[in-house]
Structure 1
Amino acid sequence: MHILLSGIVGSTAYGLAGPDSDIDRLGVFAAPTLALLGLNTLPESVVTSGPDRTLHEAAKWLRLALGCNPTVMALVWLPEELYEVRTELGHELITMRSSFLSAQRVRDAYLGYATQQFRRLEGRSDGSFSADTRKRTAKRARHLRRLCHQGFELYASGRVQIGVTDPADYHRFGERVASGDTEVARRMLPVFEDAFNDTTSPLPERPDQAAAERWFKRVRRAYYEATDRRMNWISKAKKLEEEPA
């Protein structure tokens, strides 16, 4: 695969990492265009552990980005120092990041993911379970709060703020929920729903899908063929057949 853009995301990027936190990496890669035309289906995502890394093929990454997926959005708004791979085509993704945004999809994606986090932690935060479960509950509560704040900031300003402003406050919030106060998390969701309702977003009604298509076609042209030896020998054999006797 050809990695176009990759960086460190997750708790490290948000400023919420603790001493035991994993380092999460996210990236986008291009599969050889010819390989996509065969009978065998190529994986759209590659997930590994040690290191923890998720890579999405260009087509899937674009679909997620056009839906304003919060995790995918983070990749193109990272601070410079968190990028580990950035090719020319990857840099183009960063420069066109605003074209993926639309007001309604930002609202639906960020509030939707925050609601999912709440459903996962609800009923599991009475303080009586294992230390590991309590740790996971606190983490989900922190991410619920981050998604609400980050999503509203994006909706109101048109920009993603990756790092949270007060990490210690987020950790206190997570511990409070993990100790049994799920109500504070429940109340947060309608507060931000009202905030979205009362705010006029500078974001467009729809994303610029045409811009995404133009970038996608450049990727497919750039990586039309595989670069392995098998393809090179096929090319040489074809030239040999065409030479005059």
Structure 2
Amino acid sequence: MPSAVLHPMFDRQILRVVIGSRAYGLDGTDSDTDRRGVFLPTADQHWSLDGVPEVLKEDPIEWMAWELQKFLRLALKANPTVLECLFTPLVEQATPLGRELLELRTVFLSKRLHATCGGYAEQQFAKLRRRTEARKPINWKHAAHCLRLLATGAKALAGDGFPVHVGPHRDVLLGVRRGEKSLEEVDELRAEWSSGLDLALRNSPLPATPDVEEVDAFLIHARRLAAKSKDLP
């Protein structure tokens, strides 16, 4: 663990996980360890005039955490980064309430994933093409990240959870990240994997929208626990 002094609210984390290349199976010897978490303030902190931050960041050491309500809202919108926190196999800390949150994770999966995974990838590839036209260098790691989102979104829409590890796509994505493919070849992959995402949407067993009522009940449950005791639930 880093020796840096963290914001005291990091001590209120109910869940802390590792995402990024180490969770994707794309890490190397020089890869950072990207830690993400969810924190629940005490009732006094939540009710005070000062309030609590929605997001905590410690950039030099790649740590970040969301306040529970903010995290849940993002998850309901099918934010891919937030969903990765719920499905990553690398869980470093989970309190009893954190484990309840993990058990709730499939509730957040819906057909909205097509827009968030596919839409983001399309926007980013458009930027990559503009950079090429302007004769600017391409961030191949970012290109691989966009492809990974298309593959993950397709698997999720097919009802396979939200797979974080890239599995059989590892070698292809590593090749893209190392710049071993031309932009035309990468764009062909994008088109192929985008079609797979569209097909997965048409056949998806997921609901059109997530179960907001169940998530709201969980948040109220968490707030009641925080009001009942200052101990981390």
TM-score bracket relative to the smaller structure: 0.7 to 0.9
Q: Which residue of 1 aligns with 2:156?
A: 154
C-alpha distance in 2 between matches for 1:115 and 1:69: 15
Identity of aligned residues (%): 33
Structure 2 segments unaligned to the other structure (5+ residues): 1-8
Say whether the 8 Å CA contact 2:78–2:109 is kept in structure 1. Answer: yes
TM-score normalised by the chain length of structure 1: 0.79
C-alpha distance in 2 between matches for 1:226 and 1:116: 45
Q: Which residue of 2 aligns with 1:119?
A: 126
Q: Which residue of 2 aligns with 1:221?
A: 224
C-alpha distance in 1 between matches for 2:104 and 2:29: 35
Q: Does 1:73 align with 2:83?
A: yes
Q: Which residue of 1 aligns with 2:55?
A: 45
Q: Does 1:12 align with 2:56?
A: no
C-alpha distance in 2 between matches for 1:22 and 1:193: 29
Q: Does 1:91 align with 2:94?
A: no
Q: Does 1:60 align with 2:93?
A: no
Q: Which residue of 1 aligns with 2:143?
A: 141
Decide which structure has the larger Cα Rg and report it.
1
Q: Which of residues 166, 172, 176 in structure 2 aligns to 1:173?
A: 176
Structure 1, residues 94-150: CA drift from partner, whole Å, max 9, x if none?
1111111222x1111111221233134233347965xxx54xx11111111110000
Residues 206 and 183 of structure 1: is their aligned pair in 2 closer, same or farther, counting only changes over 3 Å?
closer
Q: Helix, strand or coil for the counterpart of 1:25? A: strand
Structure 1, residues 48-96: CA drift from partner, whole Å, max 9, x if none?
13421110000000001111111111111122xx111101111011111
C-alpha distance in 1 between matches for 2:215 and 2:65: 18
Structure 1 segments unaligned to the other structure (5+ residues): 229-245
What is the aligned-residue RMSD (CA, Å)?
2.5
Q: Which residue of 2 aligns with 1:209?
A: 212
TM-score normalised by the chain length of structure 2: 0.83
Q: How many residues align?
A: 218
C-alpha distance in 2 between matches for 1:169 and 1:126: 25
Q: Which of residues 180, 190, 195 in structure 2 aligns to 1:191?
A: 195
C-alpha distance in 2 between matches for 1:96 and 1:226: 23
Residues 190 and 71 of structure 1: is their aligned pair in 2 closer, same or farther, counting only changes over 3 Å?
closer
Say whether the 8 Å CA contact 1:32–1:225 is kept in structure 2. Answer: no
Q: Which residue of 2 aligns with 1:27?
A: 37
